[in-house]
Amino acid sequence: MKNIEKDLTILIIDDDDHIRSVLKDYILNEELGTVVGEATDGEEGVKMYKQLQPAIVFLDVLMPFQNGLETLLQILAYDPQAKVIMMTVLSELQYIVELVKAGACNYLTKPFHLQQLRKIIKETRQISSLSPQQRIADRLQKELKTDYGEFDFD
């Protein structure tokens, strides 16, 4: 099931060389898109976003100089329609909710399985004008269904 989006452009912003390399290699090998840029900090990432206008951004939360939340807000101030996937080792639900409320389209909790990338990229491409609260609810419902099977939220 390769070749989801050959023309999908992706920017990776993460201070960890290994994470950037693994993401880039997997995206290219699985033909999930084209990595058009890599930045090692938020400030560089914002500049690259403005220059490259990628379809999707993978953005680490914890970085030196400028953290991911500040970077997210600057990208969204420049382009309110930006599709940003936050990557975090912080798996607390409240923190993830805050990132989505701030405008992130999706998130990955580190460490993550590379196979998740195909699903996350597809979900992010399909995100439209859903409210942050609805995106969180939809994502959590899918995760609960996967982990615990079918059940009714009512």
Strands 56-60 and 106-109: unpaired
Q: Which of 88, 99, 90 is nearest to 133 (CA)?
A: 99
121 against 37, higher pLDDT: 37
- List residues bridging with 13 in a β-sheet: 39, 59
**pLDDT tens for residues 68-107?**
899 999 999 999 889 999 998 866 667 777 888 888 988 8
C-alpha span between 25 and 77 (Å, rounded)? 30
**pLDDT tens for residues 7-33?**
899 999 999 999 999 999 999 999 999
Delineate the domains of the chain, giving CATH numbers in brackets. 9-127 (3.40.50.2300)
What pLDDT is recorded for position 13?
97
